[in-house]
Structure formats: structure tokens, C-alpha cells
Chains A and B, each alone.
Chain A
């Protein structure tokens, strides 16, 4: 994948985080709006799934950017990218399960 694709998705993920993260914050901090949002748990779970995916992509890609700037060696760069991708996917899988439990779906 070209670097421009990765970084464009980085910005798209940033915008998604702003929207879904705001919903997540309101749901847990504002008594009135929070109750309205949590009235439909399926939609809120969907929101959280998108939020988690975007957040993990943005965070791990940010860490990858910092790491490959610190270790610019070509060989290391490749390994860093793969390691970050695998860690990200595993975290997403575990995170989804935890979300299902926390929201009472399993």
C-alpha cells in the first residue's frame, strides 16, 4: 500500500474519531443526551465498533510514523509496519469482545 493511501486513511480516521468519539463522550458524561443515545444499544455498539477501529488505526499508525522516523533503516521500517499491523488487529478483536461484554450483548 502506498504511503499516501495510509496517510489519507489516517485523516479519514481522524474525522471519524471526532464524530464517533463525541457520541461516546456524550453517552457516558451527559445524563440527558446519554440516556437518549443508549436507548438503542445496537446503534451505540455500531458507533463504538467504528470508533474503536478508527481510533486504533489512527493511534497505531501514529506510533508507526514516530517509530520509522526514529529508526529510518529500510529493513526495520518493514518489520515495524508488519508488527504494528498485527498488534492492531489483535487489539481490535479483543476490544470488540470486551465491548460486547460491557454493553451486555454476550
Chain B
């Protein structure tokens, strides 16, 4: 068990989730007779879930800061319809449409952030209002009709990378991305080790990085193979690339920058943060605004994929995003959570959805199972904690700071505090002896 922990660089919760994810994929691959791990299905999976995962990135920051955002689905729909109409009626090109959407998202976010951060109304209320407000606005602006979007815009939600360079039988750009990722994994592992040695922290035995790099590389190369060998003209999908870039940016911001630290600080103890010089109002404003910008982006990707903006786009998205975040190890009370964890949580839900669909399960059964998974995942965490285990696991995992790898594992030293906290309860086990 300890060696496994070494391999996955620390965060027990994420380790469990990665394990669950792999197990799910293997299970469905077996049950569907090999229909899960195919080029077409994997592309569908990413195309069909990227917008939820993008929402999860923003949502985890909101939840870490101690808030919630219920309005993301409505905002996505509102931005989608405005952009679609702007492109149809004013004839603006698709890229200006995207820009318009992002600016609109920012304005909406500023509106909500203002009420949450500066007026002090709980985010639950502000965004519940927003949920109604922007759903209504969507239907008013679009007259409850569906508005198609031009070809260029669809690239955003359903596009593939172009074929360039020599004819290899594979999609060259996908190959390039895969190789770059492998190189990054190797480099990062090497660097993390050097760093541990430099600060004289405990370094895991030398077989660990080798096995880890080999395993991760194998996964990445297999995925690369799947995506590069789809029917001609397909590749790793564009929404997936947007998602990947966002994950890298946000994992970096949340882990390594002052702003990221401040988000965790405000969520962990707002008063203590303020007395340490953190401008908590600004932090709250930023996370709320950021969420709306990402909601706008998610809405546009969805519209691009479905080729039109409709009056019921984005219904229930907020709940999918929130579920992903909590499955990914965040705490209801704030201060705990990771971007990468939330993505893994979202992927667990996505694979589950996809696999059950392939098996021919109905929407009813799918929902029941998803609900149970959410409950069990969080219950597992609470159970783990109530047994006094986290302290032991915490000890095991704490010293493995620089062990992270790529997007699959946490980037670098997963925030030590969050790792040992369970979902839903922030109360700290202190043995007052």
C-alpha cells in the first residue's frame, strides 16, 4: 500500500479516485466487449463532457473559497444565446463571438462577485437568483427559440486538430502532444526528486520514479494511440485541448501562486486570512467572476458542439460540476480541494455515464447509480477520517511533496492541508491528551 502511495505522489483521495477511474474503465471495457476504449468513444467522451469539466475547474475554486455557484448552467445558456444571435444578426466572425462571450461572462461574474464579496450576500442566494435571472434572460433574448451558430464556431465544440506534416497514418499533432506529455512526465519526476534531495526531505526509493514514469507514459501513449488512429480527419478533440490547457493553468494558479494560496486561506479561515493581510473581498470577487467566465466558455463550447443555442441548454450543469468537485475531495465548508482532483471526479462521472450508455442503461438507472456513487465516495472519505486513519495516511503522504507528475497526478506537492481533510467535515481531529 505504501509503495502504491509512493507511486501516486501523495493525495490519498486522488489516488483512490484514479484507482476507481481505472477500475471503471477496465470494467466497462470488459462488459461492453471492448467498445469503451475505442477512438470514437473516447472522442465522444471528451467532446461530451469537456464543458462540465471546465465548469468543475471554476467550481472547485469557488468551493475552496467557501461558496457555491448554482448559476453556471443558466449563465452558460445566456452567453450561448447572446453570442449565437450576435453572430447571426450582426454577422460578427466566430472569434469575435468568442471574445464577446468571454467579456459577457466577465461582466456577469463581476455582477455576482459584487453581491457576494462586497455586499456580503451568501453565494447560494446570489447564484440562485442568478440561476433564475439568466435562464429567464436566455429565453427572453432568444424568444425560447433555437439559434444556429456558424461553421467556425462549431470548431470550438466539435473540432479536431488539422493533419499536418508527413503522412504517418496517425494524426501528427496528437502524436506531438502525447510525446510532449511523456517528456514532461519524465522531466517533472526528475526535477521533483532533485528538489526533495536539495531540501533534504525524505526521498522515495529509486524504483518508484521508474515505475511511475513507465506507468504514466504507457497510459499517455495508449491514449495518444487511440486519439491519433481515429478515422481520418479526427484527432484529440479541440474541447479536450482547451480543457487540458485550462487544467494546467488553474492547477498552477491554485498551487503555486499567491492568489491560489489566498483562495485556500480565505476558505480555511477567513478572519485569520484577513488579519494576515489577505484581501478576502477581492479573493471572493475573483473566484466568483472567474467561475462565470468559465461558465461562458463552457456554454460556447456546448453551443459549438450542438451547432445551435437553445432555451434549455445547461440545465442541471451546476449540479454535475458540484458533484465532480465533491467526488474529487473538496469540503463543503471550504478550504479543501484541488483542481486535478475535481477533474478526476468529473471523469469518474463521465466514464460512468458513458459506460452505462454503452451498456444500454436508461437515464433513470444512470441517475440512480450516479447519485449513489457521489454518496459512497463522500461517505468513504468521512468513514476514513472518523477511524482516525487520515493522520496515518497523512503521515505517509505528507513527505512526498514533489512527487506529482502530469495532469493525471497532482502537479506538485498537492496542498498538504487539503490532502488529509475529508469532504463535508472540516473539523480537525486533535487528540487533546
> Do A and B share a complex?
no
Q: Which A residues contact B (CB, under 8 angstroms)?
A: none
